[in-house]
Amino acid sequence: MAKLNQIIAVEKGVKSGSLRELTDAHHALQKPALLAGISRTYQPKDEEGEQLPPESTRVQVKTEDVLRQTATVLTRLFDVTATKDWANCAAKADVMVDGRALLRDVPVSYLLFLEKQLVDLHTFVKKLPLLDAAEDWTFEESADCWRTDQVRTIRTKKVPRNHVKAEATEKHPAQVEVYYEDIPVGYWTTVKFSGALPARRVNALLDRVEKLQHAVKFAREEANGAEVTDQTTGEVVFGYLFG
């Protein structure tokens, strides 16, 4: 008895082959010359008339033959697909994480859905914002976010000063150069807050996603190993359609 994973492997080839056969059959039926035949003989009016050989063209494509061939080709596709879909209804497996069943009796179709979703979630988690590693962070319960310790910095103000380069004389005024001096005028006390996450938290989340990804893939392989019962729907369908 075949297994579901074997039927899945066969289905793709059967599908592409039947599509090619159906396309060829369709094209053949669109060429009137292949469907047409003729047979004719020539008889002169009198015995002295010119004698011409008979002419004939055989019918190369018969529509009923094409229908039978099409039914044969598509019956295989219909049967393989039906076998897969019927088996998918029964093929189930548990998703096991760290020795316990996170999900039980999960059908193959949902396992495939989970696989695709977890790829997107892995990308999402991997790009989560991280706390600046250059700062020391502690969690502030009241603000429900991360904060740094207070940092005190001096606030300065530029105050102009005069520098006398040359004293005044009777003939020349004093030469004075203006410069600015930073004078402390106060203090800033700064606390930074952040809604980002510590790297260890993001790494832990990534580890969970990857662990679940492996578990789902394993469950899918297990479910796809289920034995299948061959379905024969094609003969019924085409017996009705082309019979």
The residues near 82 (Cβ < 8 Å, ≥ 6 apart) are: 231, 232, 233, 234
**pLDDT at residue number 121:** 97
Same domain, 204 and 123: yes
63-90 and 234-242 are packed helices; what angle lies between their axes, rounded to 10 degrees? 150
The reply to whether 183 falls in a domain is: yes
Rg (alpha carbons) of the chain, rounded to whole number: 43
Same domain, 128 and 100: yes
Whole domain around residue 176: which residue ranges?
A: 150-190
Q: What is the pLDDT of residues 181-237, one digit of tens each?
A: 999 999 999 999 999 999 999 999 999 999 999 999 999 999 988 888 899 999 999
Q: What is the pLDDT of residues 134-169, one digit of tens each?
A: 999 999 999 899 999 999 999 999 998 888 777 777
First to last CA, the chain: 31
**What angle (nearest 5°) sits at the alpha carbon of residue 114, between those of residues 111 and 116?**
115
**pLDDT at residue number 29:** 86
What value does the mean pLDDT of the chain take? 91
Alpha-carbon gap, residue 218 to 223, rounded angstroms: 9
Q: What percent of the chain stands above pLDDT 90?
A: 60
The reply to whether 11 falls in a domain is: yes
**pLDDT at residue number 174:** 76
**pLDDT at residue number 49:** 87
**DSSP letter string, 108-132:** HHHHHHHHHHHHHHHHHHHT--B--
Total residues belonging to the chain? 243
The number of folded domains in the chain is 3
Residue 175 scores a pLDDT above 90: no
Same domain, 68 and 19: yes
The reply to whether 49 falls in a domain is: no
Residue 67 scores a pLDDT above 80: yes
Cβ atoms of 228 and 3 closer than 8 Å: yes
Same domain, 77 and 123: no
The reply to whether 142 falls in a domain is: no
**pLDDT at residue number 210:** 97
**Rounded mean pLDDT, 21-27:** 89
The reply to whether 112 falls in a domain is: yes
Which pLDDT band, with edges at 50, 70 and 90, does 1 fall under?
low
Residue 82 dihedral angles phi and psi, to the nearest 5°: -65, -40
Same domain, 37 and 87: yes
Q: How far is CA 98 from the centre of its chain?
A: 27
Note the pTM of the prediction, 2 decimals. 0.68
**Low-confidence winner among 9-13, 41-45, 80-84, 175-179 (lowest mean pLDDT):** 175-179
Which pLDDT band, with edges at 50, 70 and 90, does 13 fall under?
very high
**pLDDT at residue number 128:** 96
